[in-house]
Amino acid sequence: MDHFLYKDGVLHAEDVALTEIAAAVGTPFYVYSTATLTRHFQLFDDALAGMDHLVCYAMKAASNQAILKTLGDLGAGMDVVSGGEYARAKAAGIPGDRIVFSGVGKTADEIRAALTGGIRQFNVESEPEMQVISRVAVELDVTAPITIRVNPDVDAKTHAKIATGKSENKFGIPISRAREVYAMAAALPNIEIVGIDVHIGSQLTQLAPFEAAYTKVAEVVEQLRADGHNIRRLDLGGGLGIPYTRSNETPPLPSEYGAMVKRVLGHLDCEIEIEPGRLIVGNAGLLVSSVIYVKQGEDREFLILDAAMNDLIRPAMYEAHHDIVPVLEPAAGQEQTKYDIVGPVCESGDTFAKGRDMARLASDDLVAFRSAGAYGAVMSSEYNSRPLIPEVLVNGSDFAVIRARPTFDEMINRDTIPMWLA
């Protein structure tokens, strides 16, 4: 469920008409619903009720500080994967003891910043990383809390580019080596082992891969405890999918996921951390764009929008589907037209949909891309010297620009001409 509904023939974000926002900030823009963010976080928090747990939002999905603060004020922790994300989380007021640092390539400087500013744990991905964390912790005379990410070699049955739990993926250590690597960690100075981490991929639409991975992790917990390690925390990653179409996708509900976690892992008496991103913010955001032209091709019509692949790269990168709807509600029974929906970037890959059935549209009409809150704004770029587009947060009948569109001068003035060209 989201809070983007037609009211009086106009698509609204909560109680604000998208036409009102478009008039105020111009198109294209991203818009997020506070009510949807709140509801989706609460679904996960409720799903783990009765277990000691922390929901750590995977902020790589959408990292605007207003979104982080909205979730942080609800009690969310943050899962970060870079020094920049760590700094963003701290700037949004998230305390260090609610920040988990993941990622395969943490640098010594990033580790130092987190140990200085406060960290709940590092999710360690390799032996060399573990050694660097130990070295930096010794330099700072602090103790670094860690989990070690195990790779369970489980097929997440998702897009190859977002699968992370197979043996050929770059993430984690082979689960078969867990006891050996944990013994190495225990021997390192200034390292405190607090648990185990696992994450098998993103946009999973079945519970079976999760259960297979968590069953393997449960066995390893028992082995590591027998070896003398105090395993008291399980970081289960994220990955639960969302419905990108309104017709045939029915991913598991957070409540069903929570019930499975309790059944498979509840006997271990561990604190549970989960790191949802897409499910919290995906359907909490839209991309709104204007039609520039309707172009008649040889055998098709093109709907040319002012949004482009630099604004929303998921269709070009992952062949991803987004429902695209008119902002003005079509009349019941209105005849549909097939469009190839494209952007203005000079790439054939700048295509959002082919042969998509839509009500007939004209120049200056508005359309909205549904389920665009996750991996939209955060993956955008200034390709073709196109400015990053605004982000807007709605709360009831109020809205605010939470990232402004830069001017051409602001973009261009970031460049520096070397003295020999001046």
* Per-residue pLDDT at 260 exceeds 50: yes
Which amino acid belongs to residue 320?
A: A
**Mean pLDDT taken over the chain:** 93
Question: How far is 31 from 47, CA to CA, in rounded Å?
Answer: 27
* Per-residue pLDDT at 158 exceeds 90: no
> With bands split at pLDDT 50, 70 and 90, how would you rate the model's confidence at 161?
very low
The secondary structure of the chain in percent helix, strand, coil, rounded to multiples of 5, reads: 35, 25, 40
> With bands split at pLDDT 50, 70 and 90, how would you rate the model's confidence at 416?
very high
Percent residues over pLDDT 90 in the chain: 84
Tell me if residue 56 is catalytic. Answer: no
- If one looks up domain 4-31+282-412 in CATH, what number appears? 2.40.37.10
Question: How far is 111 from 128, CA to CA, in rounded Å?
Answer: 13
Q: What is the pLDDT of residues 109-156, one digit of tens each?
A: 999 999 999 999 999 999 999 999 999 999 999 999 999 999 888 765
Question: How far is 58 from 99, CA to CA, in rounded Å?
Answer: 10
Q: Which residues contact 269 (CB under 8 A, 6 or more apart)?
A: none
* Per-residue pLDDT at 165 exceeds 50: no
Question: How far is 14 from 405, CA to CA, in rounded Å?
Answer: 23
Task: Report pLDDT for 154.
Answer: 76
Task: Report pLDDT for 159.
Answer: 44
Task: Report pLDDT for 407.
Answer: 97
Residue whose entry in the numeric block shows the structure tokens 């009211």: 7
Task: Specify the DSSP class assigned to residue 332.
Answer: T
Residue in 346, 417, 419, 421 annotated catalytic = 346
Report how far apart, in Å, the C-alpha atoms of 1 and of each of 38, 103, 126, 198, 392 are. Answer: 12, 31, 39, 28, 20
| Position with higher pLDDT, 247 vs 161 | 247
Q: CATH 3.40.50.300: does it fit domain 34-281?
A: no
Domain range list for the chain? 4-31+282-412, 34-281
Average pLDDT of the residues in 26-36:
98
Nearest by Cα to 297 from 354, 369, 345: 354
Question: How far is 212 from 390, CA to CA, in rounded Å?
Answer: 41
* Per-residue pLDDT at 1 exceeds 70: no
